[in-house]
Amino acid sequence: MLSKAELEGVIRDCRRHDRYAQNRLYKAFCAWASAICLRYTSNAEEARECVQDGFFKVFTKLDKYDGRQPFEAWIKRVMINTCIDYYRSRMNEIQTEELIEARDETVVAEILINTDAEYLLDLVRQLPPAYQATFNLYAIEGYDYREIAEILDVSIGSVKSNLSKARARLKMLLINRQTKDIYER
């Protein structure tokens, strides 16, 4: 990452459309932005596309960054919004799926104790886009139902429903993993 003074200089130069400064900013935040976008997309290819689109927005809308909030918070918001825009553009492709009832929550709690974070992120990536975006905004970013409804432009009821279905799907995926692990031993 860049020091505060370096970042201020790079931002100033980026506002002047300096390619070298844009490259420095991109290199400084690319991996971090990729990790954010991976939480909101189904795979690395979609995440790369969102990162590229997000940086395009960063460079074209940098004049809107006023410095009142940390730059990292501003760029994170741009990346999340870019992923949500990507999700919205794919709404016509999304097919709804029926869910199987979730099983005993104590079993899920035991499975979670023995599951690493990277595997859990992989499970979140398997969720349908509507569930994935809702789950990430609620569980990872900490938004409430109303805020998520505004961000995704859906009703609060849809947010609650999608969050419930996302949790149920994750439970099912975790239980399926546990069952698979038992039979492979």
Q: What is the CATH number of the domain that holds 22?
A: 1.10.1740.10
Q: Which of helix, strand or coil describes residue 8?
A: helix
CA 120: distance to chain centroid? 13
**Domain region containing 53:** 4-89
Query: Quick one: pLDDT at residue 180?
Result: 62
Alpha-carbon distance 21 to 100, whole Å?
51
CATH number of the domain bearing residue 122 = 1.10.10.10
Within-domain flag for 174: yes
At 88-99, the pLDDT tens digits run: 887 655 544 333
pLDDT cut 70: percent of the chain above it: 81
- Assign 181 a pLDDT band (cuts: 50, 70, 90): low
CA distance 49 to 51: 5
- Together in a domain, 109 and 177: yes
Q: Do 14 and 21 meet the contact criterion of CB atoms below 8 Å apart?
A: yes
Amino acid at the residue 60: T
pLDDT given at position 179: 62
Mention every residue, 6+ apart, whose C-beta is less than 8 A from residue 174. 108, 111, 112, 115, 123
* Prediction pTM value: 0.64
